[in-house]
Structure 1
Amino acid sequence: MSAVATLTRPVRVGKIPHAGLLLVLVGIIVFASVRTDSFLNTNNLLNVARQVSVVAVIAAGLTLLMVAGGMDFSMGGNVAVTTAVAAQMLSHGYATWLTLVTAIGLSIAVGLVNGAVVTFTNVAPFVATLATATLLDGVALLVINGMSISIDEHLSGLGSGTTFGLPNLVFVAAAVLAVVAFVMRYTSFGRDAFAIGGNEDVARLSGITVSRDKLVLYGLAGALSGLAGIMLLSRLAASSPGTGGLQLQLTAVAAVVIGGTSLAGGKGTIGGTILGVLLLGVVANVLNLLQISSYYQQISVGAVLLIAAIANLLQSSRKR
């Protein structure tokens, strides 16, 4: 009898993971569908999918890093440098494989430098990576000399190609998200990241190699920044001033925080991050379709990030 009652009992919305975020996303989709016929257009939905794929890859790496109590504000700057270097190499006739290896290798090196500074100097991650972000934005401008560098048809198969009707960029992002989700949930490295974010000193005393793991986490964040840069370059077919940078970084941070990842570390899920990425992508698209000034997009991202950060803090306070 009790089993039957359990099966027939209605599911409480509060018990559905990220129910509030999911309801907001559905509400915005319904609103957009009513206000404009263009939103549910196939081309528009595919365009949204391509746009959010780049943010999703950055957000995946950021989620794992923030779970461990870290932060990397230079991932957007890393994207900018990656696109600039790759665009210059492709435009000068270098082989595609060599370009990809060089660009992603450079992005990994940047991540490892960030990790070394944070791990061995005890400089706050926010300060260290924000300084790196400023430096990388300047380097990106120097590489392209402040001009737009076209790559013509190079990487077009990735940026504009489709498989089974879906953009290839979506498959890349889905693969990255799936791998990071698996690592976080089913591997000792993922469990160690949660432990480090919960209490780094206790994690070290329990035998976790905190310094090594932090270096790996920042290196992984750098690698995913490089991948996101290649994806963005393939979609835009050019590297220009303003490609990547702080705006892209803040969007990724907002998506991760909206998705429930704790700013203090020790808590986060890829499922929440995916919903956060989709929410911000849909909001940006709706603003464009309704011909609302792009300035409001920046305002909305900042406002949502602030609200999410406050909610995150209040939730942590209630648990304590």
Structure 2
Amino acid sequence: MRLTSDAIMVQQKAKGEALKRFFSNHPYLISFAVLAVIATIINPDYLTYTSLSTLLKQSAIKGVIALGMTLVIISGNIDLSVGAIVALVSGLGVVVFNTTESIVVTLLFCSLFGSILGWINGMFITKGRIAAFIVTLATMSAYRSIIVQIGQGGPFNVDMNVLSAITTVVNGRTLGVPHLALIFVFLAVAMHLLMSQTKFGRYVYAVGSNEEAARLTGINVHRVKIITFCIIGALSGISAFLLIGRLTSITAVNAGIFFELDAIAAVAIGGAAMSGGRGRIAGTFLGAIMLQMIEGILIAAAIPPFLNGLVKGIIILLAVLFQNKKSD
């Protein structure tokens, strides 16, 4: 009987340790649960199917960028130019759509052009040996300046004759589920598989954990970094396409403003290490949703919208502080 009791205690202790390790590796689940409880207290209908699908829809445009930012941060870099890429690509995307009247051509243009802009960032970082922070800070200014000049400060408006085509694709629903939500989930699953099931994903983690060690094992570090910036550029381009369908009018000065802050915040509260080498697509996916939940909570609490930036800044600091404590 004594042995049985000891065995039960050992089993319980092992389960407790396993549970502790699980939540230690997935801290975003606790954060999500806490926010869900707070949101439900404020609005008892918050966790209904309709509310959750709307939450996914509202998180999608910035969340798609955050998925790409996860790769960049895991690789030990940062991209501050994503908001400007969205502005440049969406502005020119409107021109392409008005000219071709083709959803497919416009989507391909947005994703390809965004990828090229990301490639430019990656080339300066790797071949030019310039810090990612400096490069993307410079291109953030350059990309937005280009589209503002092209549009002469005015908006890029989708032609009324083709307006319904893109709004139906972006703002429509299939089986009651918003297309934006479906796109976000699809891309999140695709990026999760890329990072967890492919050699490239393992390379990204290796480069972020120890770049020199990765190089010594035969990994082409420069190629991995360039590809991560191409991916975030392509995802920013897709986000730009979604923004066109969502707004139908792109103002170059304001389009994509602070998207980089939201993307970084989503990655940070999703549990990724800002120093690189650690992070999960699932964490970023929930992180983007949590940011939207926080905005809803602030609105419900009658907090001035101008303080949203303050709250997001605090969230980033606390998330990074937690990661630093965890690594000590």
Normalising by structure 1, we get a TM-score of 0.89
Larger deviation: 85-94 or 303-312? 85-94
The answer for the alignment partner of 2:141 in structure 1 is 134
The answer for the alignment partner of 1:301 in structure 2 is 312
The answer for the alignment partner of 1:242 in structure 2 is 254
SS, match of residue 127 in structure 2: helix
Alignment of 1:164 with 2:175, yes or no, is: yes
Larger deviation: 124-133 or 233-242? 233-242
SS, match of residue 243 in structure 1: coil
The answer for the alignment partner of 1:47 in structure 2 is 54
The residue correspondences of 1:33-72 to structure 2 (distance < 5 A) are 33-36=40-43, 39=46, 44-72=51-79
Counterpart of 2:152 (choices 136, 145, 149) is 145
The residue correspondences of 1:174-193 to structure 2 (distance < 5 A) are 174-193=185-204
Larger deviation: 276-285 or 48-57? 48-57
**Sequence identity, in percent?**
27
Cα separation, 2, equivalents of 1:210 and 1:54: 30
Q: What residue identity is the alignment partner of 1:153?
A: S
Q: What residue identity is the alignment partner of 1:120?
A: K
Shift of 1:137: 1.9
Cα separation, 2, equivalents of 1:24 and 1:69: 24
Could you tell me whether the CA contact under 8 Å between 2:63 and 2:288 is conserved in 1?
A: yes
Post-superposition CA distance 1:189-216 (Å, at most 9, x none) = 1111111111111111111111222211
Post-superposition CA distance 1:117-171 (Å, at most 9, x none) = 0001111101111111111222232333323333232311232111222111111
Shift of 1:58: 0.8
The answer for the alignment partner of 1:214 in structure 2 is 225
Post-superposition CA distance 1:235-263 (Å, at most 9, x none) = 22221231213x11101101101111111
Shift of 1:99: 2.4
Unaligned 5+ runs, structure 2: none
Counterpart of 2:277 (choices 257, 266, 273) is 266
Cα separation, 1, equivalents of 2:294 and 2:217: 44
The answer for the alignment partner of 2:21 in structure 1 is 15
Q: How many residue pairs align between the two structures? A: 316
The change in CA–CA distance for 1:233 and 1:43 in structure 2 (over 3 A counts) is farther
Could you tell me whether the CA contact under 8 Å between 1:38 and 1:289 is conserved in 2?
A: no
Could you tell me whether the CA contact under 8 Å between 1:262 and 1:268 is conserved in 2?
A: yes
The change in CA–CA distance for 1:205 and 1:54 in structure 2 (over 3 A counts) is same
The change in CA–CA distance for 1:141 and 1:61 in structure 2 (over 3 A counts) is same
Shift of 1:185: 1.3
Could you tell me whether the CA contact under 8 Å between 2:188 and 2:281 is conserved in 1?
A: yes
Could you tell me whether the CA contact under 8 Å between 1:197 and 1:266 is conserved in 2?
A: yes
The answer for the alignment partner of 1:74 in structure 2 is 81
Shift of 1:29: 2.6
Question: Aligned-pair RMSD on alpha carbons?
Answer: 2.4
Cα separation, 1, equivalents of 2:14 and 2:204: 37
Shift of 1:5: 7.4
Larger deviation: 26-35 or 261-270? 26-35
The change in CA–CA distance for 1:88 and 1:176 in structure 2 (over 3 A counts) is same
Cα separation, 2, equivalents of 1:140 and 1:48: 30
Post-superposition CA distance 1:64-118 (Å, at most 9, x none) = 1211112211112111111111123334554333322222221111110000000
SS, match of residue 239 in structure 1: strand
Alignment of 1:283 with 2:294, yes or no, is: yes
Unaligned 5+ runs, structure 1: none
